[in-house]
Amino acid sequence: MKLKTKKTFAKKIRITKNGKMLFRGLNRDKITVRGLRKKSRVKNSLKKVSKADQKSIKKYLPYL
């Protein structure tokens, strides 16, 4: 039986060529409207997913 990919995870996480998982910062919309520019830059930058979380995320992304 084929496994289904969870689309919400597929949209939010990018997997690099070497297998690292990257995601964007949370709550980006509110900070871009008001707040410091440095904060919005930090939120928009890509961050690595921790190894503990990678194991659980890989279950939801079987074919990526």
Q: What is the pLDDT of residue 31?
A: 58
Token pair 């297998």 is found at: 19
Q: What is the pLDDT of residue 40?
A: 72
DSSP strand pairing (13-15 vs 21-24) = antiparallel
> What is the chain's pLDDT, residue by residue, as a tens digit (64 residues)?
888 988 988 888 899 999 899 988 776 666 556 667 777 777 777 889 999 988 888 888 888 7
Residues 6+ apart with CB under 8 A from 15: 21, 22, 61, 64
Q: What is the pLDDT of residue 27?
A: 67
SS3 category, 34: coil
Q: What are the structural domain ranges in the chain?
A: 7-60
Q: What is the pLDDT of residue 33?
A: 60
CATH of 7-60, one of 4.10.410, 3.90.25, 1.10.357, 2.60.120: 4.10.410
